[in-house]
Amino acid sequence: MTNQRTKARPDWGLLLGIGFTFVTLGVTVSVLVLERVGSESKTVVAAIVVNSATSQLAYLAVRDVGGGILAALAAGWIVASRFGLLAAGLSSRLEVGRWHRALIGLQSFDPNVGVAIQQRDPRDVVRVFWMVTAAMHIGWVSGTFVGVFLGNVIGDSQRFGLDAVFPALLLAVIGNLLRQRPGMVAALVGGVLCAALIPIAPAGLPIIISVFGAVVALKVRPAGASQ
């Protein structure tokens, strides 16, 4: 048998890092959500069914400043639109049935799509996607429980620099993409656009518009590409 393929092996360091990051994220977000909704059960259920820290925080941020329910829902939905973009980006790499595709769509998040899309074999795309998703969920749910039931003991999580953990993880996730010229240009343009728009655009919109970074990067040839 010469055409046997080697399955992508679990990168335990990566999975551990992602799991740890999502524990810290779960703790941080659940403390903030619990303060505002005042119910442990709602905090845990919201973490699991909304499945988006930024959507929950955007909803609560609008309510905090006196915004109406519709405005708060809109903010929560807008910041989640990046997941739709990420799912669209991953879609063409999937060779799975409709229901499996739907499940992957529902779990599309920055780290799992970012890691999965870098796999060459379509079967590895799916395999790695679910490995990273499992690490994320184990961390997210356990972190949520820790935040809900031990949040008072932990206190202000920013004291421990935990707000730097998630962006650092994301940087590591796209590290390989940044080593290629088109990926670097997409990230730079997307990042600069986002920074320029944060002060003037509604929450979530700067991230949607950052997609133009990918459009600009289409013009860039990968290093070593033939003319």
**Binding residues for another protein restricted to 95-154, rule: CB under 8 A:** 101-102, 104-108, 110, 113-114, 117
Do the beta carbons of residue 32 and residue 8 sit within 8 Å? no
Give the range of 122-130, 131-139, 144-152, 187-195 binding another protein by CB under 8 A: 187-195
Judged by CB under 8 A, which of 27, 62, 125, 187 binds another protein? 187
Judged by CB under 8 A, which of 150, 155, 195, 221 binds another protein? 195
Contacts to another protein from residues 51-70, by CB under 8 A: 51-52, 55-56, 59-60, 63, 69
Residue 83 in contact with another protein, rule: CB under 8 A? yes
- Total chain residues near another protein (CB under 8 A): 98
Find the shortest distance in angstroms from Cβ 138 to another protein. 15
Residue 45 in contact with another protein, rule: CB under 8 A? yes
Token match 């393929």: residue? 5
Of 35 and 150, the one with the shorter C-beta distance to another protein is 35
DSSP string, 20-74: HHHHHHHHHHHHHHHHHH--HHHHHHHHHHH--HHHHHHHHHHHHTT--HHHHHH
Of 3 and 120, the one with the shorter C-beta distance to another protein is 120
x/- letters, 155..184, toward another protein (CB under 8 A)? ---xxxxxxxxxxxxxxxxxx-xx---xxx
Q: What is the largest CA-CA distance in the chain?
A: 66
Judged by CB under 8 A, which of 21, 28, 133, 144 binds another protein? 21
Residue 73 in contact with another protein, rule: CB under 8 A? yes
Of 55 and 151, the one with the shorter C-beta distance to another protein is 55
Judged by CB under 8 A, which of 9, 95, 215, 221 binds another protein? 215
